[in-house]
């Protein structure tokens, strides 16, 4: 009989992999990596993860080419009240942006190729 898996422990471990430092930030193209989000069970087969990589500038320019103006761009920081819940994750979130929020407005006269 297989041992019971503690999925909550695995989920917490996998959360460590959701934010990644990117090497070669300005190199475009397809990126590949094995087991990006870990495995539920060590006996599971390896899997490949593939994605196309773009810089923040690429996303901003694509919005502009589509006729949008960026009204605001935010990189939210963790709430200090969350630090006691998980100091390590809080400190990590204070040093590396986890996500970016972009608010863009349609500007019909601004179509740039």
* Number of Cβ within a 10 Å radius of residue 94: 12
* Window from 13-17, 31-35, 66-70 with minimum mean pLDDT: 13-17
CA 112 vs CA 5, 44, 55, 102: distances in Å:
53, 48, 19, 19
- Taking only the tens place, the pLDDT of each residue in 30-53 is 888 877 667 777 788 888 888 888
Nearest CA-CA partner of 31 in 39, 21, 41 = 21
Q: How sure is the predictor about 73, in pLDDT bands with cuts at 50, 70 and 90?
A: very high
Query: In which residue are the tokens 């094995």 written?
Result: 34
Q: How sure is the predictor about 11, in pLDDT bands with cuts at 50, 70 and 90?
A: very low
Decide which of 64 and 96 is more confident.
Answer: 64
The first and second tokens of residue 109, run together, are 């006269």
CA 11 vs CA 5, 18, 19, 38, 65: distances in Å:
11, 11, 14, 9, 39
Q: Is it the case that residue 56 has pLDDT exceeding 80? A: yes
Task: Parse the chain into domains and list their residue ranges.
Answer: 1-53, 55-113
Question: SS3 for 56?
Answer: helix
Q: Is it the case that residue 14 has pLDDT exceeding 50? A: no
What is the mean predicted confidence (pLDDT) over 69-97?
A: 88
């Amino acid at each position: 009989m297989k041992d019971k898996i503690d999925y909550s422990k695995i989920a917490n471990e996998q959360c460590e992999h959701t934010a990644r430092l990117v090497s070669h930030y300005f190199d475009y193209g397809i990126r590949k990596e094995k087991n990006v989000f870990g495995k539920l069970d060590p006996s599971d087969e390896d899997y490949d993860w593939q994605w196309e990589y773009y810089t923040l500038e690429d996303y901003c320019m694509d919005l502009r080419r589509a006729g949008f103006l960026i009204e605001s761009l935010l990189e939210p920081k963790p709430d200090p009240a969350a630090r006691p819940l998980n100091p390590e994750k809080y400190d990590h979130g204070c040093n590396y942006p986890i996500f970016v929020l972009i608010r863009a407005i349609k500007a019909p006269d601004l179509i740039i190729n």
